[in-house]
Amino acid sequence: MTKKNEDTDTKLTLGQYLASIRKDRGYSQRYVETETKKVVSNAYLSQIETDQIKKPSPNILHALAELYDISYEGLMERAGFVVPTRSRSGAEQRHGRVATFAGHNLTSEEEAELVKFLGYLRSRKRTGG
């Protein structure tokens, strides 16, 4: 399998990502509706999370980014909107994209386990496994 196919296969859709963040926060879809003052209805959120709606409007994404405390630009990019590039520094420059679990509230133990698992995956690639 080529690297391009691997990246495509493992990248979460916008809906999967939003569902993952919502569940990580312990929010129900009705709670999201209430907290966004019905900007995002629970039915609409359900359709986004199940990928029936793949490109919600920027104001919907903004409301979700604010509530979930995650990057609005990242959501816009996942939804397929063109995001203006800006000069990157530090880790952003090295990686070029947001880490998959950046929006999750991971404990230091969980982060350490993810780093160990990443090392394992990379070692398998080097050995051809």
Please count the CA atoms within 13 angstroms of the CA of 20 that sit on its side-chain side.
15
pLDDT for 4-52, tens place per residue? 444 443 578 999 999 999 999 999 999 999 999 999 999 999 999 999 9
Confidence of residue 60 (pLDDT cuts 50, 70, 90): very high
Alpha-carbon distance of 110 to 69, in angstroms, equals 20
Q: Locate the DSSP E strands across the chain.
A: none
What's the confidence (pLDDT) of residue 93?
44
Is this structure's pTM higher than 0.85?
no
| 69 and 105 in a common domain | no
- The whole domain housing 64 covers 10-81
| 68 and 126 in a common domain | no
In a domain, 88, yes or no: no
Q: In the chain, what is the straight-line distance between the N-terminal and C-terminal CA atoms, in Å?
A: 12
| 113 and 51 in a common domain | no
| 58 and 21 in a common domain | yes
pLDDT for 75-124, tens place per residue? 999 999 887 766 554 444 444 445 666 667 777 777 777 777 877 777 77
What's the confidence (pLDDT) of residue 97?
46
In a domain, 22, yes or no: yes
